[in-house]
Amino acid sequence: MFWTMSDKQKITSGKTESENSMWGGRYAAGPSAIMMAINASISFDKKLALYDIEGSLAHAAMLGAKNIISADDVAKITAGLNTIREQIKAGDFAFTEALEDVHMNIEHHLTLAIGDAGRRLHTGRSRNDQVATDFKLWMRDAFDYLDAQLKALQAALISQAEQHTETVMPGLTHFQIAQPVSFAHHLMAYVEMLGRDRDRVLGARKRANECPLGAAALAGTPYPIDRAMTAKTLGFDRPTANSLDSVSDRDFVMDYASTASITMVHLSRLAEEIILWMNPQIGFVTLGDQLTTGSSIMPQKRNPDAAELVRGKTGRVFGVLMQMLTLLKALPLAYAKDLQEDKEQTFMVAETLDLALSAMTAMVLDIKVNKAAMQYAATLGFSTATDLADWLVRELKLPFRDAHHVTGKIVKLAEDKNVQLHEIPLQDMQSVEPRITANIFDVLSVEASMKSRTSFGGTAPVMVKAAISDAKKRFW
């Protein structure tokens, strides 16, 4: 909505019982149209509706257990909330902006349905601790869903890796050919990255799993509530320890945005590699019709748009992390309405992650590998030069720095002759180091180089197979 001068001239302060009931007797008139527009959050916080009901059911049960409200009131509240829950699930619940947020919408409809018992539900709590509780309940599910999606992508990577432990490809540093590795080894690097992402998810979820309910507005409440009871009912580890912190804490949102940002970095790196691998000049992999697009003018094109969009969506998630850091950096304790800006963009992050992870998992499973192109590329750029130097160290007992120098001269010879290392005649290598024997050729193939890397975490097929087996135990 764009506000023009003529719009502003039309604005009046309306007054309805439902609007004024939010603020009690202090306000004689309802908010202006501008105030309603800037203040209302129902357009996005209605996503918390079922969590709000879950928290309210726990709160009502505790109020009854502590004899703060009657058993009859608890029964009416419980029945009313359960009815509203079913209405929301069925899409039959009418949310209205006049009631500002999800909490007031539900409480208003509850009170209409059950009478004064509905007005007693808010005893011993505030919307400040209520929204923090609702958001943490939502966030726990978001963390659990993210972990499941990360695990699914790990499974897809491992499935591809199991087929390619012997598939040689060039390993790169500085985006220059460095040493031969297996395609499986390359994919397993992403399994490790995603494992760290999952560790961050689990850590963030644990930190978020403390219950703010009962902290009230900021100072606690004089009612004899049992915060441990509501925390336990809602599956939290414990109640939050400080009422001021309880209502103003949004570390769990920053944790989510931070974890999501690092995850998107990893997805973007893999997306970038898929884009490069699909380029016909490289031609390592292809994706099928379902995950690529064509061109409106160039009929030969197969564009990796899904990968490009995963790469492109990283900025959205990074932006929300920066938004949350900026939102909180100078916010005094305790609650301020600035914190209403924590939800809408966080919901967008969850949707972006869902789409990006789903797309990436589908792409990884769909990849078709051009083994010949990978194997040929691995032979380029003198990729087995280090193997030559290592042979000189092992067989001729040269210090590594001397072996490095000798190898450099042989590489220069190969470069001048426009051949690869394994194509240099023995006598030419002997012109640099006379003690070199024909056995040198045993280590100059890319397959021999890959198989020789048997150190823990190395690219030798035997080690990669062990890493795959270990990853299944660690991440399953």
Which residues are catalytically annotated?
174, 295
Distance CA 462, CA 447 (A): 13
Indicate the SS3 state at residue 177.
strand
Paired tokens of 413: 């010879």
For β-strands 285-286 and 238-239, DSSP reports them as unpaired
Name every residue whose Cβ is closer than 8 Å to that of residue 461 and which is 6 or more positions away in sequence: 165, 166, 182, 184, 450, 451
Q: Which residues pair with 368 in a beta bridge?
A: 286
DSSP 264-301: HHHHHHHHHHHHHHHSTTT--EE--GGG-B--SS-TT-
Spacing of C-alpha 370 from chain mean position: 30
Element (H, E) at 180: strand 176-182
Q: Which residues pair with 182 in a beta bridge?
A: 168
147 closest CA partner among 105, 206, 213: 206
> Tokens 């949004």 map to which residue?
250
Indicate the SS3 state at residue 70.
coil
